[in-house]
Chains A and B, each alone.
Chain A
Amino acid sequence: MTDPVTTEESHVTPQKPAGGVKATSERPKAKPAFDFEPKIRIENLSLYYGQTRALFDVDMSMPAGEITALIGPSGCGKSTLLRTLNRMNDIIPAVRVTGTVAIDDVDIYSKAVHVDLLRKRVGMVFQKPNPFPKSIFENVAFGLRIHGESNRNSIEETVEKSLQRAALWDEVKDRLRENAMSLSGGQQQRLCIARALAVGPEILLMDEPTSALDPRSTARIEDLLDELRSDYTIVIVTHNMQQASRVSDWTGFMYEGYLVEFGQTEKIFIAPEKKQTEDYITGRFG
Chain B
Amino acid sequence: MDFIKPTIEYVELLPLFIVFGVAALGVVVEAFVARERRHVVQVSLAAAGVVGAFAATVVVGLDLDKTGSGRGLVGAEGSVVVDGPSVYLWGLILIFALGGVALFAERRLEAGVPAFAGQAAALPGSEGEREASTKGLAHTEVYPLVMFAVGGMMLFPASGDLLTMFVALEVLSLPLYLLCGLARRRRLLSQEAALKYFLLGAFSSGFFLYGVALVYGYAGSMSFGAIHTSVVNGSDNRTLLLLGIAMLSVGLLFKVGAVPFQAWTPDVYQGAPTAVTAFMSAATKIAAFGAILRLYYVAFGADRWDWQPMMWVIAILTMLVGAVLACVQTDVKRMLAYSSIAHTGFLLTGVLGVQAASELADSQITSLQAVLFYLTVYGFATVGAFAVVTLVRDANGEAPSFVRWTGLGKRSPVVAGVFSLFLLSMAGIPLTSGFIGKWAVFTVAMSSGAWPVVLVAIASSIIAVYFYVRYIRLMFFTDPDPDDEVASVTTPSLFTSVTIAVCAVVTVVLGVVPGPVLDLAAQVGDFIR
- Indicate, yes or no, whether A interacts with B: no
Which residues on B are within 8 Å of A, measured CB to CB? Answer: none
Which residues on A are within 8 Å of B, measured CB to CB? Answer: none
